[in-house]
Amino acid sequence: MEWSCMTEPVARMVFCDFDGTITVEDTFVKVCRHFAADVVDRMLKDIFKGTLTLKEGIRTIVESIPSSRYEEMLDFVNGTPLRPGLDSFLDFLEEKQVPFVVISGGLRSLVERQLGDIAKRASAIYAADVDTAGPCLHVISEFEEGTELVNKKKIMDTYSFTDAVALGDGVTDHGMAMAASLVFARRHLADYLDKQNRPYVRWNDFHDVREALVRRWM
Ligand SMILES: [Mg+2]
């Protein structure tokens, strides 16, 4: 379905993180650890010391990986377990005509490989891209801003909506969660929202999200 041709703002939208939210585990971290283990260790020390931003760390890690290993990286994420209930949640959103936008702080090609046929059901997928023409991977990110490689709030700002639902679990989901009218949070994002005194819904799988929205959207 093409949403961009609509002249009226879409009333409701769902913005969804990818790693650890759509997937059970953070696959991007696993890829980085598998293909650039020593660089990851070095970068993590600097990130914890505060001398390096997460964005700089991710860029350095990905750009240390030879382009010759790109296909192997894509194959590495084959068969990634997705959180249960995604298909029926997407059925529900289609029935309600609510766009589902995936925003990942990782790499688009990895996200698309893991989503498989489900990728077509998202109204858009945002993530960083990689150029494989040089000896090592090169990261290209249209929505890079501040300390973020993919600034999720900046992507939300490109849409008109009256009611945004955000789903996330991590540190890069803070801005997106604070800009949403309803948040489904897990792990770190739930702890952060507790500290901010912001209400959110705890969830484990997409069946939980669907049930909560069925009640709210009656
Ligand atoms: Mg995440």
Residues 208 and 175 in one domain: yes
User: pLDDT value at position 157?
Assistant: 95
Q: Please tell me the distance from the alpha carbon of residue 66 to that of residue 35, in angstroms, as a whole number.
A: 9
Residues 40 and 56 in one domain: yes
**Ligand 1 midpoint to CA 25 (Å):** 9
**Ligand 1 midpoint to CA 18 (Å):** 6
Residues 98 and 194 in one domain: yes
**Ligand 1 midpoint to CA 30 (Å):** 13
Residues 126 and 33 in one domain: no
pTM over 0.85: yes
**Ligand 1 midpoint to CA 38 (Å):** 22
Whole-number average pLDDT of the chain: 94
Question: CATH number of the domain that 107 lies in?
Answer: 3.40.50.1000
Q: pLDDT band for position 1 (50/70/90)? A: very low
**Ligand 1 midpoint to CA 65 (Å):** 22
Domain that holds residue 195: 10-24+81-216
**Ligand 1 midpoint to CA 7 (Å):** 32
* Edge-to-edge strand list for the sheet holding 161-168: 138-140, 124-131, 100-107, 10-17, 161-168, 182-185, 201-202
Q: Please tell me the distance from the alpha carbon of residue 140 to that of residue 120, in angstroms, as a whole number.
A: 22
pLDDT digits (tens, 9 = 90+) for 69-111: 999 999 999 999 999 999 999 999 999 999 999 999 999 999 9
Q: Please tell me the distance from the alpha carbon of residue 197 to that of residue 147, in angstroms, as a whole number.
A: 24
Nearest CA to 119 out of 87, 142, 95 is that of: 87
**Ligand 1 midpoint to CA 24 (Å):** 10
Question: Is 187 among the domain residues?
Answer: yes
**Ligand 1 midpoint to CA 106 (Å):** 9
How many CA atoms lie less than 13 Å away from 200 in the CB half-sphere? 29
Taken in order 154, 159, 163, 168, is the CA torsion positive or negative?
Answer: negative
Nearest CA to 101 out of 200, 29, 26, 10 is that of: 10
Question: Is 2 among the domain residues?
Answer: no
What is the total count of domains within the chain?
2
Residues 112 and 156 in one domain: yes
**Ligand 1 midpoint to CA 115 (Å):** 15
Residues 119 and 188 in one domain: yes
* 182 φ, ψ (degrees, to nearest 5): -145, 130
Residues 131 and 39 in one domain: no
User: pLDDT value at position 49?
Assistant: 87
- 3-state SS of the chain is CCCCCCCCCEEEEEEEECCCCCECCCHHHHHHHHHCHHHHHHHHHHHHHCCCCHHHHHHHHHCCCEHHHHHHHHHHCCCCCECCCHHHHHHHHHHHCCCEEEEEEEEHHHHHHHHHHHHHHCCEEEEEEEECCCCECEEECCCCECCECCCHHHHHCCCCEEEEEEEECCHHHHHHHHHCCEEEECHHHHHHHHHCCCCCEECCCHHHHHHHHHHHCC
Query: Left, alpha or beta for 193 (phi > 0: left; psi -120 to 50: alpha)?
Result: alpha
User: pLDDT value at position 34?
Assistant: 97
User: pLDDT value at position 131?
Assistant: 98
Residues 147 and 188 in one domain: yes
Residues 70 and 118 in one domain: no
Is the pLDDT at 65 greater than 60? The verdict is yes
